[in-house]
Amino acid sequence: MQGNVTALLVTTFIVLTVVLIGFLAGRNKASRSSVEEWSVGGRRLGSLFVWFLIGADVYTAYTFLGLTSTAFTGGSIAFFATPYVVLAYPLAYFFLPKLWKVANVHKFTTLADYIKGRFDSKLMSLFIAINGVLMLIPYIDLQLSGIQYTLKVAGTGYINVTFVVIVSFLLVAFYTFFSGIKAPTYTAIFKDIMVWVVMLFMVVSLPMMHFGSWGNMIQVAVEKAPKMMALPTSGPKGMLWFSTAALISALALFMWPHTVTGTFSSKSAESLRKNAIVLPFYNIVLMLVTFLGITAYLVVPKGTDPRLAFLTLIHMSYGGVVQGLAYSTIALASLVPCSIMAIGASNLFANNIYRDFMNPKAEGAHLTKVTRYMVFVVIGMALLFGLMFPTALVSLQLMGVSGIVQVFPAVVFSLYWRNLSREAAFSGFIAGMVTVFIVYATGKTFGMYEGFLGLIVNIVIVLVLNPMFAKHAKNRTNSVIETLFDNQKTAKDMRKVS
């Protein structure tokens, strides 16, 4: 497929403009004066900024290209993303404000920080940090693949795609290093506006261009590909897989290091509650864009690579300028989340691996410098891994969801369960992770999403072991436990952050 030079120029101009905005966002030296300033913006972001930032976290290029490619090959099974988001935000409404408050009081910037403080365990914190970094690398790789596919369609015949992808991600690494969380925060505004405007334009226009209306498109799909319009009742991805995939993805959503970064950047717990109410509006775009994968199945040539189906549909349907706007939207949906993910992974390494185990004396300016420089290591690893093993990315990211959700019981249960013991929570996490790896190695899923089996084992281990250590857990106390469960101290702490 030959690219379109106009589309390529429009995409390049918009992406470079947004990258420049990322650099300008950090022109104030205060943005890199400490780990807290660089990674979570001093916890001063208001409701609107948090909305854009978490939206950039959650709705990435993989969301759009991944869901449309899944719909292109599997039809309605791709719609598991709709109920998963519907489930995620009501849960977040209750536990995120509580998590934010304790993080604000104790200056935590990662979930591993919280685990270390809540359970007095650097070892458990280390495992949580390693899990977060390892599960996040394939996710960053998928952002790489998003821009790679976009450039492949837009620029074939005009550019060396691999070289431009490397340059793009190095630019993101530099502006993240320079500006910290302010870079993706300000660039997320432009990315999210383009998502809403451009994606909704395509959602309306593409079915009308090819079928005359949405109704006709669905009618043609029902007649020509009826299986794509109905959820399978059995098989490896039947209703049981659909339900468990939605549940696990919902529980995992706010356990990811990058969504935690967005959460801890908020200036108040109330901002998080407001966002839990309004963020589901993104589902409108998410659900309708998924339908475009079915549209692509009906329109693009047979044998098209599913990963390129949506981009091929755009290429076939619009002129160069509109193509460029669409491609730049998807490219920004790759680059902006990549920046936030790099911050989350760098923070975990610097705070919970380097400081706690490699250089315990690291503080202040030195720790800030290590955290910032880790951005280049994280993005470099993701680039190298993605270029060497491109076909493994999707399966590894799916395993990432299964792995990251194993953190959920230790984090969320411990916010409300005073006598949850370190031994039970840690054992449950390890058992869940081992189960996930076994399930992926053997392929024995029993029709369920792999992470669901791991989470069930995780929770069972917690419930079975905790009574053995409950007395010790009841007698143990520390400042984090006091903040969470001591009524007088909690009231005092809450007044400080209200």
Could you report the per-residue pLDDT of 132-186, keeping only the tens digit for each? 998 888 888 878 778 888 888 887 777 888 888 888 888 889 989 999 999 999 9
Hey, what are 147's tokens? 């821009």
pTM of structure = 0.91
pLDDT at 226 (0 to 100): 87
Rounded-to-integer distance, Cα 432 and Cα 434, Å: 6
Q: Which of 457, 414, 412 is nearest to 433 (CA)?
A: 457
What is the second-level CATH architecture of the domain 5-391?
A: Up-down Bundle (1.20)
What are the domain boundaries of the chain? 5-391
- DSSP letter at 238 equals S
Which residues of the chain fall short of a pLDDT of 50? 488, 490-491
Q: Identify any residues that bridge with 45 across adjacent strands, giving them in sequence order.
A: 266
Cβ-contact 403, 433 below 8 angstroms? yes
Backbone angles phi, psi at 257, to 5 degrees: -55, -35
Distance, in Å, from the CA atom of 14 to the CA atom of 154, rounded to the nearest integer, reads: 14
Residue whose entry in the numeric block shows the structure tokens 């669905």: 218
Identify which of 412, 14, 347, 339 has the alpha carbon closest to the alpha carbon of residue 170: 339
- What per-residue confidence (pLDDT) applies to 343? 94
Q: How far is CA 367 from each of CA 36, 110, 186, 352, 453, rounded to the nearest angstrom?
A: 11, 14, 25, 11, 38
Looking at residue 180, what DSSP letter applies? T
pLDDT in the model for residue 4: 82
Q: Which residue type occupies 256?
A: W
Amino acid identity, residue 84? Y
Task: Give the model confidence (pLDDT) of 297-326 as tens digits.
Answer: 999 998 888 888 999 999 999 998 999 999
Characterize 1-33 residue by residue with b for buried, 16 or more Cβ atoms within 10 angstroms of its Cβ, and e for exposed.
Answer: eebbeebbbbbbebbeebbebbeebbeeeebbe
Can you give the C-alpha Rg of the chain in angstroms? 22
- Which residue, 176, 185, 171, is CA-closest to 12? 171
